[in-house]
Amino acid sequence: MFCYQCQETAKNQGCTLAGVCGKLNDTANLQDLLVYVAKGVAVHGEKLAESGMVDREVGRFIVKALFTTITNAAWDNAAITNVIKEGLKVREEVSCKVGAAAPGYLPDCATWLPANDDEIFSKAMSDELRITAVENEDVRSLHELLIGGCKGISAYADHALVLGFEKDEIYSFLMHALASTTRDLPVDEMIALVMKAGETAVTTMALLDEANTSTYGHPEMTEVNIGVRSNPGILISGHDLKDMEELLRQTEGTGVDVYTHGEMLPANSYPAFKKYRHLVGNYGGAWWQQNAEFETFNGPIILTTNCLTPVRRDNTYLNRLFTTGVVSHPGAKYIPDRPAGGEKDFSEIIALAKTCQPPREIESGTVVGGFAHNQVLALADKVVEAVKSGAIKRFVVMGGCDGRQRSRTYYTEVAENLPKDTVILTAGCAKYRYNKLELGDIGGIPRVLDAGQCNDSYSLAVIALKLKEAFGLQDINELPISFDIAWYEQKAVAVLLALLFLGVKGIRLGPTLPAFLSPNVAAVLVDKFNIKPIGSVEEDIAAMMMGK
């Protein structure tokens, strides 16, 4: 195997024996094969799109395939193999639609057809599938940056699709981007595709924002309980709000409480979910703490999207672990997708919950969330006045991902040491490094404004653009805003590319820069966008306060 798609990759160079994330060699290789098959599907889909027809089945498959290969999603080899087989069927169907218009030369990924599972596993082991098969370091870097961005776009597109929202332009770009990695292109054309990925990420996050808010209302400022009650409970993690809705509906009146975890915390702020009195709060923190927190929860846990870590052998919650969507884990029970016009069936989870002890309390109190763009813009006059009066000197965007590395205490220390006249804007699980600190408020405006999930980084962009308009500025970089972003996986890559597309410069990125950035590609980003690694807490705070 060779994998360096996440921030915690071994020695910030690449995992070669097993993933730091826990991914085994054969699982990593099957995921590489799934990306390879998706590229082959994309080659045919792109050709069809050139004739004026975007095949949505092709687009939906690519979204599913890339989402399946994102960090901490699919751990079960059989499940990944089934998606590979699905891709081969989709490829055959779209190639028939292309017919005589098919390009004269087709790469192996567009024609390879295994006779049986043994040939699938054999192909997965072949060196030609590894990113290291690309000899040129800069081409390899740009391919990984592009594919990583496409994986993040696919995750957000999948969330929107679940709610019935999709766009052909997103699918068309994903086809073009994947197909481009099968061809020799000039470096400037590859860079243009990377920037186009940023534009598509903005389009996709805007679509998901529309899907979420039109379905469940705009998030509202909400105090969320982080303690427990005496009823048995179900813990729901991940990002899928449709799963959340159906679970709440099916558990109503059963005597079973529902708790959010990780990236599902923002669900507590949506009006449509507030009517459920058995949605009682959030349990625990970020994804990497789940081995301990799932153990103490006592009841069943359901993972709706990525952010699942392997279950350790000494843990006892595997028989209480359920997965759905693209998530899989050996030994966990899988909840099949909803039938057309129907709901997923959570009855087995509810029945199990009734036999379990209530959660063990691990903390108490509340956290405040719900500061997506609609809520912040409702406070716009108050915010603008605070800036004009000098009560707020600066905003610091500290969105992104959390992770296991000790160096991530940097973000806690930054939050603790920022001047009291600064406001932190956040989204994603990075918030767990500081959202339980007592940082106070500025004239009633909390000093931590949590916009929601990682995909709600779109809200932070909307807020910044509205503030630019309110202050009559021409450039977003003239605002008193600094970006101190934490990243871990590929959705964060999509968010980063989105910010670059919007023209944001001077982003601090940590705990490390991506291992897949070659020196030359990194130099381009530094030169054009002034991207920089994080430094010491004291030096970075001082620089940010000076607008540097």
Least confident of 97-106, 370-379, 405-414, 514-523: 97-106
Give the three-state DSSP class for 515: coil
Q: How many beta carbons lie within 10 A of that of residue 244, not counting itself?
A: 25
Q: What is the pLDDT of residue 102?
A: 67
Between strands 366-369 and 222-225, the pairing is antiparallel
Q: Which of 109, 125, 107, 175 is nearest to 146 (CA)?
A: 175
Give the pLDDT band of residue 190 (cuts 50, 70, 90).
very high
pLDDT tens profile 191-223: 999 999 999 999 999 999 999 999 999 999 999
Q: What is the pLDDT of residue 105?
A: 82
pLDDT tens profile 46-82: 999 998 999 999 999 999 999 999 999 999 999 999 9
For the cut 70, the answer to whether the pLDDT of residue 101 exceeds it is: no
**Average pLDDT over every residue of 444-453:** 96
What is the distance in angstroms between the CA of the first residue and the CA of the last residue of the chain? 40
Q: What is the pLDDT of residue 104?
A: 73
Estimate the share of the chain in helix, then strand, then coil, as percent rounded to the nearest 5.
Answer: 50, 10, 35
**Average pLDDT over every residue of 242-259:** 98
pLDDT tens profile 420-437: 999 999 999 999 999 999
**Average pLDDT over every residue of 345-369:** 98
Orientation of helix 56-68 relative to helix 137-162, angle to 10°: 110
**Average pLDDT over every residue of 487-514:** 96
User: What domains appear along the chain, each with residue ranges and CATH number?
Assistant: 10-215 (1.20.1270.20), 222-353 (3.40.50.2030), 375-545 (3.40.50.2030)
* Count of residues in the chain: 548
Q: What is the pLDDT of residue 100?
A: 65
Q: What is the pLDDT of residue 99?
A: 83
Q: What is the pTM of this model?
A: 0.97
Q: What is the average pLDDT score of the chain? A: 96
Beta strand ranges found along 420-478 (DSSP E): 422-426, 441-442, 445-446, 448-450
Q: Which amino acid is at 206?
A: A
Rounded CA separation 109/133 (Å):
14
**Average pLDDT over every residue of 94-107:** 82
